Chain A
Amino acid sequence: MITAAAGATAFAICAFLRVFSDADISIPLIFVLTVLIVSRLTEGYFYGIFTSLVAVFGVNYVFTYPYFAFNFTISGYPITFLSMFVVSVITSALTTQVKRQEKLRLESEKEKLHANFLRAISHDLRTPLTSIIGSASVILENEDSFTAEQRRMLLKEILDEAAWLIRMVENLLSVTRMRGETAINKTLELAEELIGEASQKFKKRYPDIALCVSIPDEPIFIPMDIMLIEQVIMNLLENAAVHGGKPTRVELSLAVRGDRALFSVENDGDDIDPEIMERLRETDFFFTEAAADGKRAGGKRNMGIGLSLCSSIVRAHGGSVSAEAGSRGGACFRFSLPMEGHSSNVS
């Protein structure tokens, strides 16, 4: 397609030049340029070389004396056409090679990103596992020397870390689900059910933090994969509860703005580091290195993966994410979902 179009254009330009001037010299150059463009736009070596051949014969046939007949034997012609052919082929080969290298570079970059991601995850998994193994073995080895209270604390530690691990694994599973590029299965869901369930889970997990829910009175229907969106809300709520010093209050609210449903999660803890906020905005919440370097980001374990998952899920729904400083200190994370445009065959 591209080859044919480019070739036709080149012929047209040359014919045009031929009619209005005697600029014979520019004709081979135009064809070499065409070959370059074709190789750039097509895959592999074939089209470039094919175009070179067609160009050489075409130029000989149409634009050089004798017009509209093949003749490579006139003195000077063999060298002219041979060099035109060689230049074309080399151009096309070089272009293709450059393209291949570009592709390889992109692939290796992707692999590096992958490796970074895996490193971040391994780090995140190792920390709680170390604590679990440590606590469990210490209990086994010193069965009698602990007070009941000490043992209870160690067991509680094991439980908390294991609970954290399982949430991490759920997030990872969803990440692979999102990367699988399978279209998400949206159904029309009632926002109050989503928010009700998320807030109940949160209250069970963090009984000490006041959760304040505000949602419009009328029923609001939003097309979504409710399990995934619940995970987004849980991740944001959890971040709000765990990060930013010791927040005492978390707000979860839903509002309708035009044809979008706007969710926001805000806490009242310490101010969020502007540098982290800036990074979040720049990377659209994708910063896995923060997970690997948990200490520097203020001990925000799982925040990297949790947030980048949120971002992928929301964007797969055609929505967007944003973050800003909270109105009473702390941070405010928002995401919006389109309320229209779902398929009508809800299951």
Chain B
Amino acid sequence: MSHKDRILIVDDENGICRFLSTVLSVNNYDVLVARTGADACMMITSSMPDLVLLDLGLPDMDGLHIIRTVREWTELPIIVVSAQTHERDKVAALDAGADDYVTKPFSSSELLARIRVSIRRSGTRGEGTTAGTGSYRIDELLIDYDKHRVLVAGENAHLTRNEFKIVALLGRNASKVLTHAHILKEIWGTSFMGDNRILRVNMANIRRKIEKNPTEPRYIFTEIGVGYWLREAE
């Protein structure tokens, strides 16, 4: 493939920028760097990167504002780079439309994996899986969108209606973290916003039906304080 994916790094710290640029160019990406939010917005419009790596703590502009602005006109994948102690920022960023996040400190392999997934997902957006038809398989788990059921090793897991809706939603967004608020809104509408318990109870039930060991999940993973994600088929 002759075409190099272009990645825009938005960060005001030299050390991080240098590290990210090195890692990404070594791995055959075309790298652009923006030090401020204003630069970032300009460069997103002018150079059309394939992915944005966005640090939320910018000097001139709230990172969330950038995400919302970009989302108004493009589905360009955005990965947020955040510090560990700001789980609320992560949730807000995901809810504002960010595709994924990496938590500082992260390893380069983790970052590269996230970038690959996000770029690939943006390429296939609007095809097959998002339409909610057909089926989706990961190892022994099969989500049958047509018949509204989930099979584990060929056996019907007997999920309730809402349980199936949750798994189906996670399946359509495989490998993407969906926040608690997002899932609640999609499944129960706005009336249950803020009621975490109903989602937790459903997740506990789903886990008992499809996972062998609830503390060692193979399919649905928990991001503590953020949300859930379903593993992607390999």
Q: List residues of A whose CB falls within 8 A of some B CB.
A: 162-163, 166, 170, 173-174, 187-190, 192-197, 199-200, 213, 215, 219, 221, 226-227, 230, 345-347
Contact = CB atoms under 8 A, between A and B. Distances in A.
Given A196-B217, A226-B224, A346-B194, A190 B204 contact: yes
A347 B92 CA distance: 13
A187 B223 CA distance: 15
Contact of B84 (A170, A190, A199, A346): A170
A199 B215 contact: yes
B197 A195 contact: no
Going nearest first, the 8 A-B pairs with the smallest beta carbon separation are: A219-B204, A196-B215, A193-B222, A192-B214, A190-B200, A197-B224, A346-B196, A213-B215
Contacts of B204: 190, 192, 219
B216 A199 contact: yes
A163 B84 CA distance: 13
A200 B231 CA distance: 15
A190 B224 contact: no
B154 interface: no
Contacts of B201: 219
Contacts of B207: 192
Interface string B63-96: 0000000000000000000001101000000000
Q: How large is the interface on B (under 10, 10 to 19, 20 to 34, 35 or more residues)?
A: 20 to 34
B200 A166 contact: no
Contacts of B217: 196
A85 B203 CA distance: 75
B126 interface: no
B15 interface: no
A219 B207 CA distance: 10
Interface in B196-229: 196-197, 200-201, 203-205, 207, 214-217, 222-225
B195 interface: yes
Given A196-B217, A230-B224, A188 B200 contact: yes
Contact of B215 (A170, A192, A227, A345): A192
B216 A196 contact: yes
Contacts of A345: 194
Nearest to A163: B105
A173 B87 CA distance: 14
B214 A188 contact: no
17 contacts: A162-B105, A166-B105, A170-B85, A188-B197, A190-B204, A192-B207, A192-B215, A193-B203, A193-B222, A194-B224, A196-B217, A196-B222, A197-B222, A215-B214, A226-B224, A227-B87, A347-B194
A213 B224 CA distance: 18
B163 to A, nearest CB: 14
A248 B194 CA distance: 43
B87 A196 contact: no
A170 B103 CA distance: 12
B205 to A, nearest CB: 8
Interface centre among A162, A213, A227 (most CB of B within 10 A): A227
A63 B215 CA distance: 79
A223 B36 CA distance: 40
Given A170-B85, A190-B204, A226-B225, A196 B196 contact: no
Nearest to A190: B200
Contacts of A190: 200, 203-204
Contacts of B203: 190, 193
